[in-house]
């Protein structure tokens, strides 16, 4: 996971939809509010041209969680609710409760509930990279040098979005192979840092280079 800069505090059309929806569910309990959303979701939408355009710019066409490029972004991108629709229906259309995700990460999360004490929002946790360790075989694990609370948060996010799934491990392993054939990696090896930090820096340098080159 990488830190994501959420440039806009709100999106005009989405804000109007959110305001309208909240008026419509006023006085309803959580179950009734969700049922109302379910009956109106074909009219009141959060995955619109406006949100898609902003996510595409904000995320560089990448998933907020696994950071993979989402090919055919406009068609394949899904909207992830940080606090789920059923648990907090009043936030269904709130911009700061939405992130874009690939279909795999969204499916892995499914309807698993939000735990505010563990959830790492990539638009709010600027040092989010420190929570994870990437290994030469492509696997991801928790940075055990963190506090116990931080370790639990990292474990939660890996499990919540399946960040250790085989397809991701394979792609990261391929990244490392490419990096080892790159002069950048040789430069890192000459620096005085442990292997974990070399791998970590290599991964994010590789991601940044791909973003820069539009790959």
CB count within 10 Å of CB 95 equals 18
Task: Name the token pair of 70.
Answer: 């989402």
Which phi-psi region, left, alpha or beta, contains residue 214 (left: φ > 0; alpha: ψ -120 to 50)? Answer: left
Is the domain of 95 the same as that of 61? yes
Residues 97 and 186 in one domain: no
Q: How many angstroms separate the CA atoms of 128 and 122, rounded?
A: 7
Q: Which of 122, 147, 179 is the last residue of a domain?
A: 122
Give the count of domains, the chain. Answer: 2
Q: H-helix or E-strand containing 170?
A: helix 166-180
Residue 107 has pLDDT above 90, yes or no: yes
The Cβ of residue 147 has, within 10 Å, a number of other Cβ atoms equal to 8
Structure tokens at 55: 């996510």
Same domain, 23 and 111: yes
Q: Specify the higher pLDDT residue, 116 or 212.
A: 116
Domain boundary among 122, 144, 178: 122
- Examine the pLDDT at 187 and tell me if it is beyond 70: no
Regarding whether 111 and 147 lie in a shared domain, the answer is no
Q: Is there a single domain that holds both residue 12 and residue 115?
A: yes
Mean pLDDT over all residues of the chain? Answer: 88
Between 2-11, 138-147, 171-180, the lowest mean confidence (pLDDT) is in 171-180
Report how far residue 5's alpha carbon sits from residue 20's, in angstroms, rounded to the nearest whole number: 27
Question: How distant, in Å, are the alpha carbons of 79, 114, 208 from that of 76?
Answer: 10, 24, 22
Sorting pLDDT into bands at 50, 70 and 90, what band is 198? low
- The whole-model pTM stands at 0.82
CB 2 within 8 A of CB 207: yes
Q: Nearest 5 degrees, angle CA 64-CA 67-CA 72?
A: 90
Q: Are residues 92 and 152 in the same domain?
A: no
| 32 to 82, 87, 90, 110: CA distances (angstroms) | 20, 12, 11, 21
**Which residues, 6 or more positions from 166, have their beta carbon under 8 angstroms from its beta carbon?**
none
Which residues constitute the domain of residue 107?
1-122
Give residue for tokens 């394949």: 76
Q: Mean pLDDT, to the nearest integer, of 204-212?
A: 57
pLDDT-based confidence at residue 205 (cuts at 50, 70, 90) = low
| pLDDT average, residue stretch 4-8 | 92
Q: What is the pLDDT of residue 135?
A: 85
Query: How many whole angstroms separate alpha carbon 70 and alpha carbon 156?
Result: 23
């Amino acid at each position: 996971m990488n830190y994501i800069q959420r440039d806009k505090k709100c999106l005009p059309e989405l804000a109007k939809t959110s305001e309208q929806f909240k008026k419509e569910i006023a006085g309803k309990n959580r179950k009734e509010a969700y049922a109302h959303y379910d009956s109106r979701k074909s009219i009141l939408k959060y995955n619109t041209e406006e949100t898609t355009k902003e996510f595409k710019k904000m995320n560089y066409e990448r998933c907020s969680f696994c950071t993979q490029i989402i090919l055919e972004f406009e068609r394949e991108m899904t909207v992830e609710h940080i606090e789920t629709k059923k648990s907090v229906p009043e936030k269904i259309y709130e911009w700061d409760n939405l992130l874009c995700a690939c279909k795999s990460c969204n499916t892995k999360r499914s309807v698993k509930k939000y735990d505010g004490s563990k959830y790492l929002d990539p638009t709010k946790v600027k040092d989010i990279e420190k929570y994870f360790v990437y290994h030469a075989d492509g696997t991801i694990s928790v940075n055990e040098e963190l506090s116990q609370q931080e370790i639990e948060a990292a474990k939660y996010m890996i499990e919540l979005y399946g960040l250790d799934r085989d397809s991701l491990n394979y792609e990261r392993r391929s990244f490392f192979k490419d990096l080892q054939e790159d002069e950048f990696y040789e430069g890192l090896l000459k620096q005085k840092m442990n292997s974990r930090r070399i791998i970590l820096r290599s991964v994010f340098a590789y991601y940044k280079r791909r973003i820069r080159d539009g790959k």
